[in-house]
Structure 1
Amino acid sequence: MHGCEGGRISFRAEGVEELGELRELRELRELRKLRELRKLRELRELRELRELRKLRELREAFTK
């Protein structure tokens, strides 16, 4: 019976290890999502800056 208990403990340890790996995977996915969102935000900001620059150039062209 003693060997059975040891098996149960090692099975439980493996389960805990798998839970840790699942948690790490979840955290990695969240990080990737955050990076993608940051990248999208930066692209949007760049687009807005370009539009503002074009508007400024147009305004300067018409005020000359």
Structure 2
Amino acid sequence: MPPRYRYEQIADDLAKRIASGEFPPGSKLPSRRELIERYEVTEPVIDRAMQVLRIKGMTETLPGVGVFVAE
């Protein structure tokens, strides 16, 4: 199996946490800064992981408010 990019690992981890109910539908995900600190990565890595979740339809972004789990 080829190595995976860090953003893919983070997106998978967050997707599992959403699926497990840790972040139920309608809940707000941790802030970008909190995710950067938790995963020890740079801002572009978190942005890419958030993009993956948004493309999969798992999250919705409200500019200036945050990222929420899709209903």
TM-score w.r.t. length of structure 1:
0.27
Greater percentage in helix: 1
Q: Identify the structure with bigger relative contact order (alpha carbons < 8 Å, sequence gap 6+).
A: 2
Larger radius of gyration: 1
Greater percentage in strand: 2
TM-score w.r.t. length of structure 2:
0.24
